[in-house]
Amino acid sequence: MFLNSNLISFSPIPPKSTAKTCLEIPTMSEIMAVSKSQGLRIQLRTFGPFFKINAAGEKGDVEVGRAEGVIRPWFGGEKILHLDSMRMSRATLDMDRSLFGLGLFLGAVSVRYGFDLGCKRAQLLAINDSPLYHSKLVRFYSRMGFKVVHEVDGSSIGDLVHMLVWGGRGTRMDAHIQHLLVKWSKMFKPPHDRSLYSEKS
């Protein structure tokens, strides 16, 4: 499973976090704990602004997926999380979990890492190598919480420039990092923590 990222977004910056929202957002330690409970060993490596996330089975000897990206500075001092690639190995088929579930774990670590470094937005390009595969990618990332912002199909001069930058055609998708973490909170927050903020709502 592959995706590419770009440098342009048409989405507004979300408002600052409220106290209630902070309670809803899972921490990196909570995400890692849930991953471990599901038989996944996830490791985050950083190289300056670049990062790589590897997911292995419970024994840690077989890689089942990986994600790579970079934290990029943007206008006005903003930082943007660029998700460059996500790959699932054939070993994933032997595990008792869906590709979406594994992708969500990799995505959660990536997004939480970006959040911790001050990023407000995540960007990607769902690459269009074939119509069937492309439609599955768009559905996959839409289900995760990303929104379509632009179709890069080569029909304009601007698209041709973008294709040179990204290496192909596809669907540009954006997401607010804070919104993603809140959306995924039911999966990663302990039940007693979820009840705390649900009772106050």
pLDDT for the residue 125 = 85
Out of 38-42, 88-92, 114-118, pick the least confident.
88-92
Q: pLDDT band at 76, cuts 50/70/90?
A: confident
Summarised one tens digit per residue, pLDDT across range 136-192 is 889 889 999 999 988 888 888 877 876 776 678 888 899 999 999 999 998 898 764
Cα–Cα distance, 158 to 170 (Å, whole number): 14
**Burial (CB count within 10 angstroms: exposed 0-12, middle 13-18, buried 19+), residue 161:** exposed
Exposure b/e, 16-36, CB count within 10 A at least 16 = b: eeeeebebbbbeeebbbebbe
Antiparallel, parallel or unpaired: β 79-88 and 121-127: parallel
Domain ranges of the chain: 19-189
Residues 60-87, mean pLDDT to the nearest whole number: 87
Q: Say whether pLDDT at 132 is over 90.
A: no
What architecture does CATH give domain 19-189? 3-Layer(aba) Sandwich (3.40)
